[in-house]
Structure 1
Amino acid sequence: MFTIGDFARLGRVSVRMLRHYDSIGLLRPASVDPHTGYRYYTADQLRRLNRVIALKELGFTLAQVQAILDDVLDVAELRGMLRLRRAQLEAQVAADTARLAGIGARLRMIETEGRMTTEDVVLKQLPSVRLAELSATARSYQTPDIGPVIQPLYPELFRRLAAAGIQPSGPGIAWYAPAGAADGEAVVVHAGVTVAGDPGAAADVAVVDLPAVDAAATIVHRGSMDEVERSMAVLARWIEEHGYRADGFAREVYLDYCQDDPDNGVTELQLPVRPA
């Protein structure tokens, strides 16, 4: 048998952790010297220790770990717990991946700040346009929150239009509006495409007429919308330099919509403005 110190080194854990596991009944020593109180463990107990560590790293509480190892849970309950934890981890990985992409985009924007120019910004009127659209609510207007919401809307929109035999008459246009939530952060994401006529009932989509805009600062953004902040920064500089004030959310006109290759996308950003 092994002393608690030797067993801790073999299991690559701390002596303090083993004492805690003993106190809660999760991993009792094989024997305890009645005179000295020294704890002794067997090599076979490393199997249980390894399972405890593995389940902890999956995010289970020590109480859940004990229930699993002591067969308190039946197979169905264990399967349900594992599936739930897998879904939680997958969601966390997706969120972390989106967060990393956002950080990368911000870093690239910072790196190009000194080379940004407002020469490509054009002030123009926007005509009214009819859209067939689907909408959903995003937690905020931040890119990591918008992307996962808008991305599935367009394939579904095009599928419904195609099933109804309706062809778009112009580019896709995304627009945004406050969701009216108490915290003021949520936005309604409208994924639309230009159409003629009224395909709403036939295609099971909403039809809206975006009103004309007297003045909008516009710029063509090339590349993934995950990096749209750099183009928005150029718009912000132009608006400030020319004595305007932003008036709401920017529309996104997808001049070249590349869902499978977003780095090659071409999008015109149209931000309504008014005199400051």
Structure 2
Amino acid sequence: MLSIGEIAHRTGVSRRMLRHWEQQGLIEPARTDPATGYRRYEPTQVGRVNAVATLRDSGFGLEDIRVLLDPALGRGGLESVLRAQERDLVQQIDEATVRLTRVRHRLDTLETRAREVAMNITRQSLPSLSLRGLQASVRDETDIPAAVTQLRERLGGDIEGAAALALVFDGTDDDQITVTVGFAHSGETAEGTRDAIVAPITIAGVEDGVSVHFVERPSDVSDAWVVIDSHLETVGLHSYGVYRQLVAADGAVTLQAGVRPLPPDCASPGA
């Protein structure tokens, strides 16, 4: 007879999994020593272990495997289990196809953005911004989109149509990111905006920075910044400090940030 270790070695199934399948009633030792608890298996049981492992790898659940290995299983029961598995696999394929399409779209977008950035990036000083708007603090970059949405809802009114909209993200504090949403201050308040809640906000200028203009808003601004930073690395620079996203009335977007040289040990070989 074979020990559980020998069965595990012959089938490639771990002892832990064999014990689990035993608990589920899929594998039953031919004999268990009452004194030691050691399990012993007939050599013919290797085939059943392999069958369970194969069905598990094919995506069948343990309950379905129990049905499939039942000697009394008729055609109706077999078809029922296989049809259910077919539906599950089709659903998985459909979901995977959707995810694959998204990944491919994102890859295509990154390539397009890389060409846009190379053509439209400008190194320049960034002027200070005089805004009227609102601010909020978040703890992580993933919280920024929700904060922007909430601030824009609080501002109300047609702020995009009235003036250039500015989204500013200040992550210079290790403990928080300050999110600013506002419109260029021209002495007048955008129609419909709740003037009582907005405040004048000044964003300091930057002596050395970069500006990248996009005719249309990038579908994923964070990806656009990844491309910008990748381009900057090729010339020995990196972005830092306060990041700006300026949205014009026609929907064009300009991304801006300060830049400084990469540390010597981080510089790109081609820089």
Give the TM interval when normalised to the shorter protein: 0.3 to 0.5
Q: TM-score, normalised by structure 2?
A: 0.48
Q: TM-score, normalised by structure 1?
A: 0.47
- Structure with the greater alpha carbon radius of gyration: 2
